[in-house]
Amino acid sequence: MDIVGALGREPPDRESLPRWVAPLPKAVEDIAYRFVWVIVAINLLGTAFGFWYYRFQFSRHPVEMWAFIPDSPLATLFIALALASWAVGRSSDTLAALAFFGNIKLGLWTPYVLVVFYPAFLANSGPAMYAFLLVSHLAMVVQAFVLHRMTDFPVKAVAIAATWYTVDLLMDYFIPLVGDVTHTSIPYASSTPWFTTTVLQVAAAGAVTLTIVPLFFALGTRVATLRARS
């Protein structure tokens, strides 16, 4: 039995891109595509766990705002759908861009708040869950950097992803359409003093910054790809 044929496909061609937009070794990228259905399954399991993790937040917000609550699970769902669409020969640049933005943003924001607010997170979650959340979210960043093999990040797709994550940012911290802001629960009151500001502002500062970072990398990948092809 052809294991690669059952669990994935031969990877797409790799452009000659600079290391800063394609930091993973080619061999690692190849494994991800040859075993793409394993990666899809892992992300779907992560999505299911994430929705369970957010169950209490869902109960505190109106249904109209639910789409803005499960940030990390939605990011893993996006990458599962993006990779699955490639695996069946129906690649979607939009799904790939959404996955890229989400996995970089949430893959970095969650470790950021876990570290910055570690006393309460560690006390509430316990060492095992704390370590799992930290490592699994960093893995989201790693998997985002295989996506350049299946998309060159067209401007329209990047614009859609940037728009979604900007709207999500507004709902999470600034201007909820209904009810309260929808950011991931932090084990401190929002107004608790932290450094020179408050807990909410520290979390929001990270979210704003990490909404810009994937935009930079997506457009940088686009430019580098077009240069490589010229």
Distance CA 87, CA 103 (A): 19
pTM of the model: 0.95
Please give the chain's pLDDT, 230 residues, in tens.
Answer: 455 567 878 999 999 999 999 999 999 999 999 999 999 999 999 999 999 999 999 999 999 999 999 999 999 999 999 999 999 999 999 999 999 999 999 999 999 999 999 999 999 999 999 999 999 999 999 999 999 999 999 999 999 999 999 999 999 999 999 999 999 999 999 999 999 999 999 999 999 999 999 999 999 999 999 999 98
Q: How far is CA 82 from CA 57, 77, 98, 132, 177, in A?
A: 27, 8, 9, 24, 29
| Domain containing residue 32 | 23-229
Domain contains 12: no
pLDDT of residue 9: 85
pLDDT of residue 1: 43
Q: How many domains does the chain have?
A: 1
pLDDT of residue 4: 58
Question: In the block, which residue shows the tokens 């930091």?
Answer: 23
Distance CA 178, CA 191 (A): 21
Domain contains 6: no
pLDDT of residue 3: 56
Domain contains 17: no
Domain contains 114: yes
Domain contains 10: no
pLDDT of residue 7: 84
pLDDT of residue 16: 95
Q: Do residues 109 and 206 make contact, with C-beta atoms less than 8 angstroms apart?
A: yes
Domain contains 164: yes
pLDDT of residue 151: 97
Domain contains 183: yes
Domain contains 16: no
